[in-house]
Structure 1
Amino acid sequence: MIDHVGLAVSGYERSREFYRSVLAPLGGELVMEVTAEQTGDGSHGGFGMHGRPTFWIGTSHNAHSGSVHVAFTAPDRDAVRAFHRLALEAGATDNGAPGLRPHYHEHYYGAFVLDPDGHNIEAVCHSPE
């Protein structure tokens, strides 16, 4: 059900080194970094095991990004679109329409909303269709 989670941090480099250190004994490592230029916002780092980032940290200059990020796994792109539509109907605020996010990987298809408490909630499909 949960694909990945993320936390907003006040200093990317400091937090990256902190989590790099404390997650190492647990088998976690920095798997991926995404620059502010790629996201159009802050810098982000994904930690995980076996090359799959499941815990993200990042800075954000966007006041609408929320302090907590949770991404739910969707079985296909139609489910991502349905999630987005139903979330907006239920009172969420749009934080990123359904679409490809190639800066994560070629087939990353996600949609983002802010829940009633301002948390950044996402549905993501990793399949090519």
Structure 2
Amino acid sequence: MIDYIGIPTRQLELMKAFYETALAPLGYEKVFEHEQGAGFGQDGEIALWIVATGSDGRGVNIALQSQDRVGVVRFYNAAMANGASSNGGPALRPEFHPDFFAAFVIDPDGNNLSAICRTHE
């Protein structure tokens, strides 16, 4: 299952305003914001990220849910063994959520792919 999708932009302020307005009728609101982007969702859970991108041309960011932390580690190892480059190895990232355990890779075509577990396991 998809955890969230990230859309890169070179027009961060414009895109934040656009999505805040466009998603409001669906019950989405800005849940999290920092200098490089903003997350939109419902009930405090982010479903869509708008992320500033530079000239690196990175593509979309897709985060997939893992049932446990072991799955996150296995995802990372399998991706790295098959041509991905690391964008952040398996680790707890409490700045996003107290149980946010994730690993991030860049696929061979330049997209960010991640696996996320939000449980203690």
Tell me the CA shift for residue 49 of structure 1. 1.6
From 40, 44, 58, the counterpart of 1:47: 40
What TM-score do you get using the length of structure 2 for normalisation?
A: 0.92
Q: Aligned equivalents of 1:115 and 1:14: distance in 2?
A: 28
Q: Aligned equivalents of 1:61 and 1:12: distance in 2?
A: 11
From 32, 44, 56, the counterpart of 1:63: 56
Kept in 1: contact 2:87–2:105 (CA 8 A):
yes
Q: Aligned equivalents of 1:79 and 1:61: distance in 2?
A: 31
Runs of 4+ in 1 over 2 A off after TM superposition: 60-64
Tell me the CA shift for residue 63 of structure 1. 3.1
Q: Aligned equivalents of 1:126 and 1:60: distance in 2?
A: 26
Return the letter of the residue paired with 2:27.
G
Partner of 2:23: 23
What TM-score do you get using the length of structure 1 for normalisation?
A: 0.86
Summarize deviations over 1:58-114 as a string: whole Å, max 9, x none. 1145838x2200000001111000000000111111111110112211111100111
Return the letter of the residue paired with 1:112.
F
Partner of 1:119: 111
Q: Which runs of 5+ in 2 are unaligned?
A: none
Q: Which runs of 5+ in 1 are unaligned?
A: 37-42
Distance 1:75 1:105, change over 3 A: same
